[in-house]
Chains A and B, each alone.
Chain A
Amino acid sequence: MIPVGSRTATIVDDAVSPSAVGELRARLTGYARYALVDRGSYDAIEPVADSTVRAALAPLIAIASRTTDRQLALTELRAIRLRAGDYLLAHHDRIHDDYPIELVLDLSPAASAAELHYRRRGQVMFRMPSIPGSLAIVERGPTVTSNHTYVSKRTPEVEVVRLVALLGDLR
C-alpha cells in the first residue's frame, strides 16, 4: 500500500479465482467501440448492468471498505477491453474531486505487459500490471488521472479486460 495523506493505492493478488475470472469475463457482452483516437482506442461496456457481475463485486467492495476504513457502495461500473493497438490516454480520464475509491478487477484471459497507470499531477504514482484475478484499490482525487497503456501490435494475441468500479461513501 502507498499511503499518501489519506490516499490509498494497493493491489490485492488473486482477489477472484481463475474460474471466476473466466465466468465474469464471459458475462461481459455488448461492447461498444470508442475511437476518438486523440483520447483512446478501446471497447467499453458502460454501464455494466449484468446482475451476476455486480453481485460478484460485493466481497471486493468489502475488502475496499476494510482497506480504506470507509463504508463504500457501488456508484458506477464499466468494463474496458483493449486489444493490440489500443490505449486510453490520461487526458481522456475523468477528474474526481470527491475522493471516490476506484476498484479495478483484471479479467483478462492471460497476463500481459499491459498496465494501468495512475498519475498524480501527471507523474505515474501507481502501476497495476495485467494479471488475471488481481484487484487494484485506488483513491481518486482532483489531481489523480489514469491511463491504460498502449497494447503492442507485436503481441496480437493479447486481450486486456478490466472491470472498473467507482465506489462512494454509503450515506
Chain B
Amino acid sequence: MWRVPDDERRWGAAPPFPHVVVDDVLEPAALAALFEILEDEPVERYVADLYAFDATAPVPTTAAFAAMRDDFAGTFAPWASRVTGKSVRGVDLRAYAYRPGDYLLPHADHQDGLDRQLAFAYYLPSPEPPTGGELELYACRLDASGAIVETTSAALIDARPNRLVVFDVSTISLHQVREVLAGTRLSLSGWFYP
C-alpha cells in the first residue's frame, strides 16, 4: 500500500527547522481502499481558539482504521528513524477535513508529558482541491532565557495530494495550517512516538 522512499532525505537541511517532504508515497491502486476505510470512520467537528476543522476521533473507532494506522507506522517509522536519527515506532493518526474557513493557527506540537518525537501530515486527493491550506513553518528568534521574541514565516508547503511531510517536534517548531479559502483539504496527520 505505502511506498517507502528509496532515497535518504537530508534531515535539517532546509530552514526553519528539520523537515522532509516526500511525494508519491501511496500506491495509486491503494487509494480506493484507503478511502473505503476513511468512509467508515466517524468524523466530528472540532472548534477552539486555535483551530476549526472536521476530524476523526483521537483513537480509531473501527478495526480497519486502526489497522491502517498500524500499517502506516510499520512502514514509515523505520524510515523516519533512519532519516531523522530519532528512534520511533508507533504513531497517533487521525483523518482531517479542512473546509472553507477552517484553519489551524500557529503552534508547536510539543507538550510536556507527551513524547511526540516527529509530526507528520499525508495529503489525500480531494474531489474539490483546496485553495489555501498550506503548511506554513516559522522561524523563531529566542532571547537569553529561551523565550520566543520574534516569529517569521520561513517555509510554505503545498498540501499536494499523495505528499508526506515529516517535521521535528520541539518547543520552537512553530507551524500552522493556513486557512482553506475554497475546496476541501483532506489529510492524515499525527505524531511518531518512541
Contacts and interface: CB of A to CB of B under 8 A. Distances in A.
A28 B150 CA distance: 26
User: Which of B100, B179, B181 is most buried by chain A, counting CB atoms within 10 A of its CB?
Assistant: B179
B101 A154 contact: yes
Contacts of A147: 49
Contacts of A126: none
B150 A154 contact: no
Given A36-B151, A37-B138, A153-B181, A90 B106 contact: no
Contacts of B49: 87, 89-90, 117, 147, 149-150
B135 interface: no
Nearest to B151: A37
Q: How large is the interface on B (under 10, 10 to 19, 20 to 34, 35 or more residues)?
A: 20 to 34
A149 B103 CA distance: 12
A85 interface: yes
Interface in A72-125: 85, 87, 89-90, 117
Interface residues of A, number: 15
A38 B107 contact: yes
A62 interface: no
B13 interface: no
B105 A36 contact: no
A148 to B, nearest CB: 9
A37 B181 contact: no
A152 B103 CA distance: 9
B50 interface: yes
A37 B174 contact: yes
A87 B105 contact: yes
B84 interface: no
Interface of A: 35-38, 85, 87, 89-90, 117, 147, 149-150, 152-154
Interface of B: 49-50, 52, 100-101, 103, 105-108, 132, 138, 148-151, 174, 176, 179, 181
Q: Please give me the 9 A-B residue pairs with the lowest Cβ-Cβ distance, nearest first.
A: A147-B49, A37-B106, A37-B151, A38-B106, A90-B49, A89-B49, A153-B179, A152-B101, A38-B174
Given A38-B148, A90-B49, 13 more contacts: A36-B149, A36-B151, A37-B151, A85-B179, A87-B49, A87-B105, A89-B50, A89-B105, A147-B49, A150-B52, A154-B100, A154-B101, A154-B181
